[in-house]
Amino acid sequence: MTPKLERVAETGPINGLQYHRCRIGDASYLFALGGGGDPVLLLHGFPQTHYCWRRVVPVLAASHTVVAPDLRGYGGSHAPAGGAHGEGFSKREMATELVEVMHVLGFDRFAVVGHDRGARVAYRMALDRPASVDRLAILNVIPTVDQFERMVGGPSLGYWPWFLLAQPAPFPEQLIEAASERILRFILDSWTADASAVDEEAFAVYLDSFGPAAAAICADYRASFWLDRDHDRDDRRVDRRIKCPTLVITGAEEMQLADAADVWREWAVDVRAATAPGGHFIPEEAPGVLIAELSRFLLDSSAAA
């Protein structure tokens, strides 16, 4: 199916941005668009939507064209349920679709910033489509294959989504749908250093999409278990590396990721590192630090790929 771009009549949750929809194959991506200048693609993570960037976008849009989609099946983006192993939701497939969205917008080369699940799409994009990605910023993840190997090394209650949400359908989907508010509240409260960083208005936005996104969320995690780590393992076997400048930002309270920059230096040829206060949700817990680090990285001529 030929990619199709359309302007969405209604406004979206982030004021001042235009909202559009782009159909790529069997997926329909909703995304926010604003600003002017060199393009930067912002990719959110679990269990959120593009709304997590609400404090970051206004500043970046002063110097860049910002594109902030909901990931496949999350929020306002729609797609069929994935296969038994998450087919359709591998990070390779999602990265390919989002590169096509950017191409439809006229951006053949762009920076990409990803948090959590969005960071997994972002680094896969940089590995698979290096001609499209000129800079990469990764927030609070290490590569999927390394993450699984780390989980084998010792127990942690924080690893629960990787295995619970990858269980065969429809068990984890039914859990999310039956207790959306309690699950979402637990995640946002326990993964932040200060739960008030995600205010009630933001919670309501995320809750509105959390239950309906259950199939996509679980397909996303199934794909990591069955598909994504194999893609990573194949790349590592042949020493395939990210060639563009790469910024790795971790939350100070994410103790299991204290060595994230060192891990990424095994995957990328040019890694810069920074630490932000708080826990997992950097765009909301430390927007000022994140804006400063991204602005410096995106505008630094020495970081040109």
- Catalytic sites, residue numbers: 116, 280
CB 167 within 8 Å of CB 214: no
Pair of tokens at residue 170? 């429809």
In sequence order, what are the residues at sequence separation of 6 or more whose Cβ sits closer than 8 angstroms to the Cβ of residue 58?
16
CA-to-CA distance for 290 and 210, rounded, in angstroms?
25
Instruction: Look at the block and give the residue holding tokens 């989907």.
Output: 173
CA-to-CA distance for 147 and 159, rounded, in angstroms?
10
CB 182 within 8 Å of CB 211: no
Number of Cα atoms under 13 Å in the Cβ half of residue 120: 28
Task: For residue 89, report the phi and psi dihedrals to the nearest 5 degrees.
Answer: -120, 15
CB 279 within 8 Å of CB 258: no
Cα of 71 vs its chain's centroid, Å: 7
Task: For residue 76, report the phi and psi dihedrals to the nearest 5 degrees.
Answer: -90, 0
